[in-house]
Amino acid sequence: MKQKRAFKYRVYPTPEQQQMLAQTFGCCRFVYNWALRKKTDAYYKDHQRLYYKDLSILLTDLKQQEDMHWLNAVSSVPLQQALRHLDKAFLNFFEGRAKYPTFHKKRNQQSATYTSNAFTWRTGTLTLAKMREPLDIRWSRPLPKDAIPSSVTISKDCANRYFISILVEDDIAHLPVIEQAIGADLGLKSFVALSTGEIVGNPKFFHKDEKKLAKAQRRHAKKKKGSKNRDKARLKVARIHARIADRRRDFLQKLSTRLIRENQVVCVESLAVKNMVKNGSLAKAISDVGWSEFVAQLEYKADWYGRALVKIDKWYPSSKRCFDCGHILDSLTLDVRQWDCPECGVHHDRDINAANNILAVGLTVNACGEAVRPGAVKTKPGTSRRSRKA
């Protein structure tokens, strides 16, 4: 099945290319913020709605102004794409998937998107518009055979690292059907407990580098604003954050890929992480563990490889319910990791028992196509938002 797939690589631009990219990033950021201000003012002051077509016409007029001639120094394609990104940001806001769009900042991650008419692709070399030489790309993995990029997005993170994301059409083959199914209970003490009895520990990447990060942030705060030393200190803080994020992403990608490859059905809980992080005592630990990203990876990989991901209702008492007899405890505090069923006397490990219950309920949902409680979700290949978009 042909699907759009992005391949991300590290890029090492020359000083001349870095200067051109810096100009492009600045122009894209300016156009995005300018368009956001235009849309907001038009709605609240004039009670009008501006769409991509209206903003594109206004951008053409803006570039013709005498004091805005610097917008013509870069390719026009990334500027038009910035308007499309803003349009998509408002669509996500109105459909309840994101908050109201905010202005882009110079110190945050920068990016620019080029469509096929703004770059040259020849035998594995990529040359962007307004550049003389091709980019120095570290091909950490090969692109699909005979792949032709439809668009590329080059970005620069806060640690001054450059990356390029190449969007191509890839034929992703479904994995062979197997009979193995698994239930996964996400937690903090252990990252996930599986119904097979396997427990994957919580790496706690942020916790391991927390002291180092705090020391770097204190040094950054003491530096004089606007000085070069402050920029150097800011870069050290950004590199620590990047190290934490990279390690966490690598861990989640490898674990989610393994679960999808080894199981036909994966059952998880649908957790309300936004509400859970409101707990001041556990907010830092919940944010560090990365549950939402893990479930999102399971979802799109299940679509790619022909697996099924079942999300059971978050209110289902998976931890308090005895897997052997079905007895439900009145209460079970977080500090209780093991308990004995008062009905049948079976000794339970809290997380393994929850994983077994999640598997049982998930298989019921997968077989019957019905929710045990309102809110249970069944994801089949090709039904996720990412697959429908592709």
pLDDT > 90 in the chain, percent: 65
Same domain, 156 and 31: yes
pTM of the model: 0.85
Residue 356, pLDDT above cutoff 80: yes
Measured CA to CA, the distance from residue 187 to residue 87 in angstroms comes to 37
- Given this model, what pLDDT does residue 59 score? 95
Give residue 327's pLDDT.
83
Q: Percent of the chain having pLDDT more than 70?
A: 94
Is residue 250 assigned to a domain?
A: no
Is residue 130 included in any domain, yes or no?
yes
Mean pLDDT of 25-48: 94
Confidence band of 374 (pLDDT split at 50, 70, 90): very low
Q: What is the mean pLDDT of residues 306-324?
A: 86
- Catalytic residue IDs: 185, 269, 351
Q: Do both 13 and 145 map to the same domain? A: yes
pLDDT, the chain, mean:
89
68-112 pLDDT tens trace = 999 999 999 999 999 999 999 999 999 998 999 999 999 899 999
Q: Does 20 lie in the same domain as 137?
A: yes
Q: Which residue has the higher pLDDT, 252 or 330?
A: 252
pLDDT of residue 257: 95
Phi, psi for 375 (deg, rounded to 5): 115, -15
* Amino acid at site 315: W
Cα dihedral angle (384, 388, 389, 390), rounded to 10 degrees? 100
Tell me the pLDDT tens digit for each residue of 120-169: 998 789 999 999 999 999 999 999 888 899 999 999 999 999 999 999 99
Q: Are residues 197 and 112 in the same domain?
A: no
- Average pLDDT for 10-35: 96
Q: Are residues 6 and 98 in the same domain?
A: yes
Q: How confident is the model at residue 172 (pLDDT cuts 50, 70, 90)?
A: confident
In a shared domain, residues 196 and 314:
yes
CB 323 within 8 A of CB 356: yes
Q: Do 101 and 196 belong to one domain?
A: no
Count structural domains, the chain: 2
**Is residue 214 situated within a structural domain?**
no
Domain range for 332: 181-201+262-389
43 and 148 share one domain: yes
So what's the pLDDT on residue 365?
A: 78
Lowest mean pLDDT segment, chosen from 59-63, 70-74, 348-352: 348-352
Residue 379 predicted with pLDDT over 60: no
Is the pLDDT at 345 greater than 90? The verdict is no
DSSP per position, 7-57: EEEEE---HHHHHHHHHHHHHHHHHHHHHHHHHHHHHHTT-----HHHHHH
Whether 278 and 336 share a structural domain = yes
Residue 226 lies in a domain: no
Q: Are residues 148 and 53 in the same domain?
A: yes
User: How much is the pLDDT for 362?
Assistant: 87
191 and 77 together in one domain? no
Residue 312 buriedness (CB in 10 A; 0-12 / 13-18 / 19+)? buried
Q: How many residues does the chain have?
A: 390
Assess whether 192 and 325 both reside in one domain. Answer: yes
Coil/strand/helix, residue 331: coil
Strands 119-122 and 110-115: unpaired
